[in-house]
Structure 1
């Protein structure tokens, strides 16, 4: 549908419509047309005997009988077409001299004259043998006055007028019937019959219709083009398939941004393999795929030198806890004691009598690494449970039960489902859950402002890694630019994170 040349079609319509309208009006429809106009039809019964009537009182028949209830009709006959009308154009028998017949029901003709010729040379068409005449006849018991007009040749725009005087011949108070004009033109408009015209001022109707059609085409064009024409993709809109791997903490942002990018850039597609930051980096390094990106919560360090980083966003993380623990705020020292196993029951910190259950991420998780580096200052002990409620058979004795989960969603599900459980997750994912509670650290909630000013420790830079420098016109480079500009940045912000460019030190993407 988008390949159809709608712009060309509408342009052609804009040209054809006025041409067709002109031809229809002046060539096809209006080529040969005979018209008439009743310019006056009035009675003068009482006026003929009124004060100052003068000569009107002497209106009479040829035998001297006065007219009792006279009426006057002024009839205009005209050529309203675009070509001339000749004597042979009238739709009558060849031997007939009469071209137009006008009937006046319930009236008798008292007299008639031809007046106001558009051109003086037309007068020769109304001589004694021309067919011009009047008569009165009976038709179904009614008196009918008849005016007969000759087959007058009329050039385009020419006309003549007929002024006739009548005497009422019907009921005295009955409204007089309109004249019946009978005539036809061979090859004329529609059936060729004579048509009544109207005296008009201003813009002719055909011009009004033409202007309306042109205006309709003009107004419709942008809407039609908007509906049927494919919108051009943005300039920075590379197509092709892109593989996304790495961080589960940043997964919601990546999936929403990818869906938005694919909608904006037809022809692009994404596949996802998100199982943790370290695993994603190792996968990218092993596959050496230039059409892939690995996202990591924090830098890769000194390993994997062929993977090149680009800081994308400033991520906030938060501690999450099962609400039945009765704890919402911990000091940094208390957090360290809980994850080190030195606190075994939440009542020791003023909470409810619930045993502490620690839910960790896998050891290669970027979120876990961030917790160990920025909050705990040390590596966590190993896990001793599968279900986070009972220790594994044969596991060494430990003060608290510890388990681990492979992704953010599994982490949150475990904390919500195990009494007294505590864990950690990306803020945007945790805030969307009503079955877990977030924990403040030293009275500070997880906010960008607190982290940016060094008051909140649990944050990390989200990096995107590519195998070598992606080509400028590749899907990888285009998607990275999309994430850090306009819509992509809005998506990052909507999940509680902040684009690196908005920080005080965007190069390092870390608070000062």
Structure 2
């Protein structure tokens, strides 16, 4: 029995030593947060490690709120967020450094059975407010509308409410944490409507993305702010961070990645944006 207890104690000690080693590893980068940003960060980390074999990069989702909270607490190297740190309650933005990596468009999506490809902005708001409850009211099929919303901590939801609903309160509806889960539910459930980041919509190919007032969510329309439902993809760090984190962020902001992977993955390069969004919600021409 004593021998068994000794083995357990030794095992725990090894885990503690291993954890300390990982924390102090100068090549370690942990990037957590926005699921809208996750595909870009994951692929970038794989590409980066091809020429930086010593790099130790871990990428996780969890939502923008989680990313901002964990980087603020010093638990991770990078907090990925679809919203400005200033917009999140309980986060001291002055303690963090904002690195803008890309711009992501958010698109209302429906199950193709709805028979709708375009809505006016007023119709979209009335659907989420519960004033329009059947697709036939907007030119679609005689089919009840079911809303799938994002969870309260979601940066995608914050962006959608701020730029599309603009103060219109959404009816109580089923909530889901991640873009991928929304994709699966809306794809499988007739009559549903929700919203996704464009990279997930491109991957899905099972959903109908909607135009708004006959404006499509194209690369050019987002860059010119004609499509107004978009946000920055932020990487937040502490003011003091390790060199491995700085180098990885520099890589993501490089011309090579901005003109290559960022565009290929469905995001808009920060270099191509003709408008700038501010933390207070204003959008100004560059």
Does 1:250 find its partner at 2:37?
yes
2:232 matched residue in structure 1: 461
Residues 436/300 of structure 1: CA separation in 2 closer, same or farther (3 Å cut): same
Which has the larger Rg? Answer: 1
Question: Aligned pair in 2 of structure 1 residues 379, 350: CA closer, same or farther (>3 Å)?
Answer: closer
Distance change >3 Å, CA 242–CA 309, structure 1 → 2: same
What secondary structure sits across from 1:282 in the alignment? helix
SS in 1 for 2:86: coil
Q: Which has the higher contact order (CA 8 A, sep 6+)?
A: 2
8 Å Cα contact 2:26-2:244 kept in structure 1: yes
- 500, 503, 506: which one pairs with 2:270? 500
Unaligned runs of 5+ in 1: 1-237, 384-401
Rate the CA distance shift 1:239–1:502 in 2: closer, same or farther, 3 A: farther
2:70 aligned partner? 283
Is 1:339 the equivalent of 2:128?
Answer: yes
C-alpha separation in 1, matches of 2:175 and 2:278: 31
**Deviations along 1:164-191, whole A, 9 cap, x unmatched?**
xxxxxxxxxxxxxxxxxxxxxxxxxxxx
Q: Distance in 2 between matches of 1:418 and 1:374?
A: 26
1:418 matched residue in structure 2: 189
Q: Secondary structure at the match of 2:42?
A: helix
TM-score using structure 1 length:
0.47
Matched, 1:266 2:71: no
Partner of 1:424, secondary structure, is: strand
Paired residues of 1:362 and 1:404 also in contact (CA < 8 A): yes
Q: Which structure: greater helix fraction?
A: 2
Q: Distance in 2 between matches of 1:293 and 1:374?
A: 26
Q: Quick check: 2:109–2:195 contact (8 Å CA) kept in 1?
A: yes
Q: Distance in 1 between matches of 2:151 and 2:278?
A: 26
Looking at structure 2, the residues matched to 504 and 445 of structure 1 have their Cα atoms a distance apart, in angstroms, of 17
1:360-392: CA deviations, max 9, x gaps?
Answer: 111110100000000001264463xxxxxxxxx
Structure 2 gaps of 5+ residues are 1-24
1:304 to 75, 87, 92: 92
- The CA distance in 1 between the partners of 2:167 and 2:82, in whole Å, is 17
The match for 1:328 is 117
TM superposition shift of 1:453: 2.7
The answer to whether structure 1 residue 476 and structure 2 residue 245 are counterparts is: yes
CA-CA distance at 1:439 after TM superposition: 0.3
Kept in 2: contact 1:453–1:511 (CA 8 A): no
Q: Tell me if structure 2 keeps the 8 A contact 1:308–1:469.
A: no
Structure 1 counterpart of 2:219: 448
| Structure 1 residue 462: Cα displacement | 1.1
| In 1, Cα distance between equivalents of 2:226 and 2:272 | 18
Q: Check whether the contact 1:452–1:511 (CA below 8 A) recurs between aligned residues.
A: no
Deviation, structure 1 residue 504: 3.1
Cα shift at 1:431 = 1.9
Partners in 1 of 2:256 and 2:84 — Cα distance? 25
Please, which of 339, 349, 355 is the counterpart of residue 144 of structure 2?
Answer: 355
The 3 A distance-change label for structure 1 pair 506 and 319 is closer
Q: Is 2:68–2:81's contact at 8 Å kept on the other side of the alignment?
A: yes
Q: Which whole-Å CA distance do the structure 2 matches of 1:352 and 1:419 have between them? A: 11
Q: Within the alignment, does 1:369 sit opposite 2:139 as a pair?
A: no
Within 1, Cα distance between the matches of 2:214 and 2:171?
A: 29
8 Å contact from structure 2 (residues 79, 236) kept in 1: yes
- Counterpart-to-counterpart distance in 2, 1:355 and 1:441: 20
2:9 — aligned with what? none
Q: What is the TM-score of this pair, normalised by structure 2? A: 0.83
* Contact 2:129-2:168 within 8 A present in 1 as well: no
Provide closer, same or farther for how the CA distance between residues 437 and 485 of structure 1 changes in structure 2, counting only shifts above 3 A.
same
Q: Contact between 2:130 and 2:171, CA under 8 Å: does it hold in 1?
A: no
1:485 paired to 2:254: yes
RMSD: 2.1
Pairwise CA distance, 1:508: 6.0
- The secondary structure found in structure 2 opposite 1:460 is strand
Give distance in 1, aligned partners of 2:46 and 2:284.
Answer: 30
SS in structure 2 at match of 1:274: strand
Q: Which residue of 2 aligns with 1:295?
A: 80
CA distance in 2, matches of 1:364, 1:264: 35
CA distance in 2, matches of 1:257, 1:357: 36
**Deviation by residue 1:24-68 (Cα, 9 ceiling, x = unmatched):** xxxxxxxxxxxxxxxxxxxxxxxxxxxxxxxxxxxxxxxxxxxxx
